[in-house]
Amino acid sequence: MNIHEYQAKALLRTYGAPVAAGVPITSLDEAEAAINALPGPVWVVKSQIHAGGRGKGKFKELPEDAKGGVRVSFSPEEAMDNIKEMFGNTLVTKQTGPSGKQVNRLYIESGAAIDRELYLSLLVNRETGMTSFVASTEGGMDIETVAEETPDLIHTVDITPSQGCTDQDAAKLADALKLDGTAKTQAVELFKNLYTAFAEKDMSLLEINPLIVTESNDMQVLDAKVSFDNNALFRHSDVQELRDLTEEDEKEIQASKYDLSYIALDGEIGCMVNGAGLAMATMDIIKLYGGEPANFLDVGGGATTEKVTEAFKIITADPNVKGILVNIFGGIMRCDVIAEGVVEAVKQVGLPVPLVVRLEGTKVNEGKKIINESGLNVIAADDLDDAAQKIVKAVKG
Amino acid sequence: MSIFVDANTRVIVQGMTGRAGTFYTDQAVRYGSTYVGGVRPGKGGTRHLDMPMFNTVAEAMTETGANASLVIVPAPHAAEAMIEAIEAGIGVIVCVTERVPQHDMSRVKAALEGTDCVLIGPNSQGILTPEQCKIGVMPTRNAQPGSVGIASRSASLTSEILAQFSKAGMGQSTTVGIGGDTLHGVDFVECLKRFRDDAETEAVVLIGEIGGRSEEDAAEYLRSVDYGKPVIALVVGRHAPKGRRMGHAGTLSVLGGDSAQEKIANLRNAGVFIADNADDVVASVLQAQARAKAS
């Protein structure tokens, strides 16, 4: 689960991180009070959406030469103009896709006098199983590019879980970032606090880009991205409250209510599969025969008729879907349950497009019987390959 | 022969009294595996499924001679169950629990350091040596004894491929589900090493997917040894979306993790025979074996 920059900063502030004063607004009525609450002389107006690249992003509704999604303002009037121009418009960044995201929240923050921009993140290292700090002196730019072009400028420090981030770990990072004096003292404290926040709140990613050294040699968190481990949300009700559903795909929200794993894609063949691996294999084979999957949908191992019905509804709600492939290999999953779910769903939402069903495994004969006797116009397939060929043919003709 | 588990494996179940625990223990016993007891704090001294229950793993091991444990407890308690089994010094732990928090798995990995314990999973369908030992939740109807070793990151895809094996009359030495989570126990490399030493295994199939470095590590290992047996790999997720959110994948890829295409190229360079899609695995195994014989 992702949260907004202003939420991340508020959370990090509770762990003692140096964050500039700032006020989030969710309507234009709040703008004036927000500006007045900050001392100036510089006000930064930042779009709050769940996507990176905001500064270089463009608003769809504004002229091509208009400024981006993060704007520095040197007077209250200029800040107000920027707020009015940005609020409610659609920001397109390299991470939002061409449709962009509507800016419904802005964060007004005091400006900082930047001397140097650094990069810092924490994540769980797949290889060592430990939490790793990733740090670089090359802050403020795309870390991917830094990793590719100058890998020696990327430093990683693994933290032993039983010890946490020690003074030595923190000092090693501070040295890698070439910090000295007060900045170094503050950084050591900051790194230890960030680790505590990362561990205590079950974060999966904490990225500060840039982390800055100010002209007075103080540390400050200038931007912050935080993602939480969805599997650990059960023990963090405070974090759950930070969820902004307007940032998420409606169909994905609907799917998550029924414990379905769904990701919307751009193609025309809707897929319903049990198991993530089999779902990916199904998408691959659809592509092989020249089709494009419209989604990834894993109904999981313990699907009920209700879950399958819901999955089917989500798939058919996508206007791009021109055909549906149901591929179920019932290991734990029973084919008769799937079949009943499909029949029930079609009863409820109709069947506007061709449907290919491939059932295999537990109670497969019962499942096929339910489909056959339903009177539905279903194309039966024998195996994965056959199913993929048939749905692509049905869609492409 | 087989890897990790065989007819002599004596299994206890942590979480045996739960609904899933009861169901899958019963299935495994019916399949002919040797299950010797269950662990659930507070249930020591009682019996379940006609087996003795114990309060701790250590106690269960002393009383029953158990050398493997199936962990089938809810996600919030899975890490503690695994750590208890590791500290008790059991040989093999199979954790089928899904959605174990990442930070919990960090602690499990730390507990594993320096021990000889083999952890399979979590989020794994388990391990199956056909007709000898089943520890997990996988279906067994398409499994039969044979000479192909399988290590897989996906339960559903393994079921799919075993059905193809079954149609072709091809058996398996052992099938290992290494689990679908970012942090897990044994990896492809450890499975490859064991299959290499296993006299009965004549070919190895790896079922991989996008994310992580399991395939890259396997390729690196295979380049470093004269493996001596054909290895076949299927890597799915060539067309899966990636990195749409918050630069997630971006940051992660700083620490590695290639696309399916890169993984495939990497494995191919290491001499692995690539199955182009899920329907080609049996044919690929036959081709790889024919090629190995000819050379």
Predicted confidence (pLDDT) at residue B166 exceeds the cutoff of 90: yes
Please name each of the domains of chain B with its CATH number. Answer: 1-123 (3.40.50.720), 141-295 (3.40.50.261)
**Nearest by CB to B246, which of A50, A283, A288?**
A50
Residues of chain B with Cβ-Cβ distance to A283 below 8 Å are 237, 239-240
Q: Is B74 within 8 Å of chain A by CB?
A: no
pLDDT band at residue A99 using 50, 70 and 90 as cut-offs:
confident
Give burial (CB, 10 Å; 0-12/13-18/19+) of A304.
middle
pLDDT tens-place string over residues A328-370: 887 666 788 888 888 888 888 888 899 999 988 778 889 889 9
pLDDT tens-place string over residues A136-147: 999 987 887 888
Q: Is B101 within 8 Å of chain A by CB?
A: yes
| HSE-up of residue B116 (Cα within 13 Å, Cβ side) | 6
Q: In angstroms, how far is the first alpha carbon of chain B from the final one? A: 26
Cβ contact, residue pair B240, A296, below 8 Å = yes
ipTM confidence: 0.88
For chain A, the C-alpha Rg in angstroms (whole number) is 25
Query: Given the structure tokens 């000819």, which residue do they identify?
Result: B294
pLDDT tens-place string over residues A268-308: 999 999 888 899 999 999 999 999 999 989 887 677 788 88
Predicted local distance difference test score (pLDDT) of residue A219: 98
Predicted local distance difference test score (pLDDT) of residue B243: 47
pLDDT tens-place string over residues B170-189: 999 999 999 988 899 999 99
Average pLDDT over residues A304-330: 89
Average pLDDT over residues B200-228: 94
Cβ contact, residue pair A229, B102, below 8 Å = yes
Total Cβ atoms within 10 A of residue A375: 9
Cβ contact, residue pair B278, A284, below 8 Å = yes
Query: Is the CB of residue A90 less than 8 Å from the CB of residue A59?
Result: yes
B277 to chain A nearest CA, in Å?
6
B213 to chain A nearest CA, in Å?
8
A185 to chain B nearest CA, in Å?
27
Q: Is B83 within 8 Å of chain A by CB?
A: no
Mutation pick from A160, A239, A280, A362 vs chain B, by most beta carbons of B within 10 Å, is A280
**Nearest by CB to B156, which of A278, A287, A288?**
A278
| HSE-up of residue B60 (Cα within 13 Å, Cβ side) | 34
Catalytic residues of A: 119, 207
Q: How far is CA A91 from CA A28, A30, A47, A141, A212, in A?
A: 17, 21, 8, 19, 25
CA distance B135 to A389: 36
Q: Is B80 within 8 Å of chain A by CB?
A: no
pLDDT band at residue B240 using 50, 70 and 90 as cut-offs:
low
Which residue type, as a one-letter code, is found at position A252? E
A39 to chain B nearest CA, in Å?
31
Question: What mean pLDDT, rounded, does chain A reach?
Answer: 92
Average pLDDT over residues B270-292: 94
Query: Is the CB of residue A293 less than 8 Å from the CB of residue B239?
Result: yes
Residues of chain B with Cβ-Cβ distance to A247 below 8 Å are none
For residue B208, the chain A residue with the least C-alpha distance is: A277
Residues of chain A with Cβ-Cβ distance to B109 below 8 Å are 128-130
pLDDT band at residue A75 using 50, 70 and 90 as cut-offs:
very high
B289 to chain A nearest CA, in Å?
23
Cβ contact, residue pair B99, A265, below 8 Å = no
Mutation pick from A96, A126, A162, A333 vs chain B, by most beta carbons of B within 10 Å, is A126
